[in-house]
Amino acid sequence: MNFNRRLSLILVSTLAGSVLSGCLGLAATGAAVGVMAATDRRTLGAQTDDQGIELKAFARVQDAIKNPGGVSVTSYNRRVLLTGQVLDAAAKQAAEKVVTGIDGVRQIHNELAVSGRSGLGTNANDTLITTKIKAAFVDAKDVQTNTIKVVTEQGTAYLMGILTSDEASRASQVASRVGGVQRVVTVFEVVSLDELKRIEAAAGK
């Protein structure tokens, strides 16, 4: 299957997820899109917790700040990534505070930008970049695509997952070469090979 064919198939999947997220205003990205459970390095319990964390965060951020529609929440192995835009620094801090209070959250990466909400054109471009990154992972052949969660916000690609140091470096390298990517921010949980074997055994892989 050539690169364009893979890109088309991944685009359909990504756009479907974006439609679901778009219906919410405040996006709980992992719950809407997610990764394939068959190759997910998280335990089933962690996957379930991540979905619950995202839904709770969605509700709490919506109540805590004004105009929360530009905020996205992604939880991977109970580590939460906040992306998008808020009106001021106080809103950024408030969003982090309410998410911190959710049971099970291990860590928060607050990447919220204090700026106006991005337009539909920017959102569409970010969706395309995410799709291109996923296709590039598939094309690279030495990157396990379904172990990495990709979130793109205004040209910045955020990568999440449970990876070894070598895997993390390779994934970052591949993503950085994708057209439209302005920078890559890795939010990986980096583990040793021995730790990865234990994780995969626990996850039943």
Entry field: residues in the chain: 205
Q: Please state, in angstroms and rounded to a whole number, the distance separating the CA atoms of residues 170 and 143.
A: 7
Q: What is the CA radius of gyration of the chain?
A: 16
- The per-residue pLDDT for range 100-147, each reduced to its tens digit, is 999 999 999 999 999 866 666 678 999 999 999 999 999 999 998 889
Q: What's the pLDDT at 122?
A: 74
Global pTM value: 0.81
In tens digits, the chain (205 residues) has pLDDT values of 555 555 555 555 554 444 444 444 566 655 544 444 557 899 999 999 999 999 999 999 999 998 877 899 999 999 999 999 999 999 999 999 999 999 999 999 999 999 866 666 678 999 999 999 999 999 999 998 889 999 999 999 999 999 999 999 999 999 999 999 999 999 999 999 999 999 888 766 5
User: SS3 letters for 147-196?
Assistant: HEEEEEECCEEEEEEEECHHHHHHHHHHHHCCCCCCEEEEEEEECCHHHH
3 state DSSP class of 127:
helix
Q: What's the pLDDT at 61?
A: 95
What are residue 107's phi and psi, to 5 degrees? Answer: -160, 150
Q: What's the pLDDT at 70?
A: 85
Q: What's the pLDDT at 20?
A: 40
Look-up: residue for tokens 């009106």?
87
Q: Please state, in angstroms and rounded to a whole number, the distance separating the CA atoms of residues 48 and 53.
A: 9
3 state DSSP class of 144:
coil
